[in-house]
Structures are given as C-alpha cells and as structure tokens.
Amino acid sequence: MHNNYFYRQFQLILFTTLVTLAGCRAPTTTNGETSPAPTESPVSQVPSTTNVNPSQLISPQGIGDLRLGMTYGQLKQSLGSKVKFEVKSPFIAELDAIAVNRDGKTLYYILYPTGTTFSNSSMITTVFTENPDYRTDKGVGAGTKLKDAEAAYGKAKLSYSTYESREYVKFANYKPRNVYFRPSAKAQPFAGVYQSPPPVSKKTNQFHEDAVIQSVQVVCPPEACK
C-alpha cells in the first residue's frame, strides 16, 4: 500500500515540475505583474568550493547520512544517541513526518503517509529539508538565491500547479529527477512571475529578484524502493 502511495506521489511530482513529490507553505494567489525590490537572502551566495561534507550532502541517494531505502531503525543506529526524533502529525496534506533533530536544530524530515505507523522496520522513501547546512555537490541548498543556483546548474524553470498548490523549480543542467527544489520569495505568493491569473499548471523562466530555494526534497524512485 505504501509503495503504491509513493508511486502516485512520484507521478504527480513529475507532472508539476517538468517536473515533483516539510513547513511546506502553499501559495494562494498572485498577479504576477510586479517584482519586489532586491532583498538579502539568508544565504546570499553559492559557496566557492564544492567540497561538501558527505554528512551534509544532498544527492539522489538521500540527504546526509540518510540513504533512501534504509530502514528507520538503520538510520537511528547510524546517527547515534545525540539525535532526537519527533513525530509531526499532521505535517502536510496526506503526509506525516518525523523531524530529525540535533543540538536544537531540525536536520531534515522523514515523510510517510498520514494515518500509518512508521516503525523501525519501515523503509525511508522520502526526505525533506529546509536546513541551509545541507547542500548539493555544487553548494546549492535552502537559502540559495535562484540566480546563484542558475550559475551552478543552468537556466531555471519554475512551475506551479493549482491542483497541488505547490511551486517547484528545476535547472537545465541538474539531471536527477528525484531531487526537487521548492522556491519562495519575500512578500510574494510565488517565486516565479506568471501570467495573471495562472492556469491550472503554469511554467515560467522569470522569477523575483529575491527568490530563493526554500527547501529540497528527495524521493526514492518506485523502481528502487520496493
């Protein structure tokens, strides 16, 4: 049952970002006609080095020490006693979460279907982070300005679906299809600049000056997590 759920989620995400799948703030309405004055991002630049600590790396295989396909019990054993686990229910639509916390900070969230029990033997198939300490191989993560992410990975394409009520951004030269970036902009319901009103599904290459990556989500492809 869980595998069928995540397969449907994975299909929906691919449709909305391309393509898509914690915290998650859904936009409502926009006129898409004006851009705000530039403002500083929490993390204003992509780091000059790409030597990301493996324990803080975002990759198609997972986030940090969490590897998609491992069990919850295996993750606990890997992280040790200094890490605390907190159930968040409800978290977002149809999903509950387990917040993985250390030193008072949330490292990332493990997502699973609402109303189900996530035990030590449960397989981890989806992980989500808003923690700026976690970065891709080129230093892109939560807080990175979209224009800086473009410098690392090529032209940005933003998409929004009123069906899912979430916005995503992908980059021309970032190929993994199971890693999803969600953008945001201060004082704006969308990071992207869309026609007004947007149709059910809309894409754009334009975004507000202060648009940043808000969060990163990694989903285990159905063929790899059975």
Domain boundaries defined on the chain: 2-219
Residue 195: predicted pLDDT? 84
Angstrom distance (rounded) from CA 45 to CA 208: 16
The answer to whether 103 and 60 are in contact (CB under 8 A) is: no
Residue 174: predicted pLDDT? 97
Nearest Cα residue to 209 out of 187, 177, 176: 187
Q: Is the pLDDT of residue 27 over 50?
A: no
Lowest mean pLDDT among 6-10, 83-87, 96-100, 180-184: 6-10
Residue 30: predicted pLDDT? 35
pTM score, whole prediction: 0.76
pLDDT band at 197 (very low <50, low <70, confident <90, very high): confident
Who has greater pLDDT, 1 or 192? 192
Angstrom distance (rounded) from CA 226 to CA 220: 10
pLDDT band at 198 (very low <50, low <70, confident <90, very high): low
Angstrom distance (rounded) from CA 14 to CA 177: 8
Residue 16: predicted pLDDT? 37
Q: What is the mean pLDDT of the chain?
A: 81
Listed as own residue / partner, the contacts of 45-51 with beta carbons closer than 8 Å and 24 or more positions apart are: 45/145, 45/148, 46/138, 46/139, 46/140, 46/144, 46/148, 46/149, 46/151, 46/152, 47/135, 47/139, 49/139, 50/137, 50/138, 50/139
- Looking at CATH, the fold of the domain delimited by 2-219 is given as protein yfey like fold (2.60.460)
pLDDT tens track for 139-183: 999 999 999 999 999 999 999 887 778 899 999 999 999 999 999
- Give the β-pairing of 126-129 and 212-219: antiparallel
Q: Is the pLDDT of residue 136 over 90?
A: yes
pLDDT tens track for 40-85: 334 444 544 468 899 999 999 999 999 999 999 999 999 999 999 9
The pLDDT of 24-29, averaged and rounded, is 34
Helix (H, G, I), strand (E, B) or coil at 110: strand
In which residue are the tokens 């898509």 written?
20
The pLDDT of 82-98, averaged and rounded, is 93
Q: Is the pLDDT of residue 7 over 60?
A: no
Q: Is the pLDDT of residue 88 over 80?
A: yes
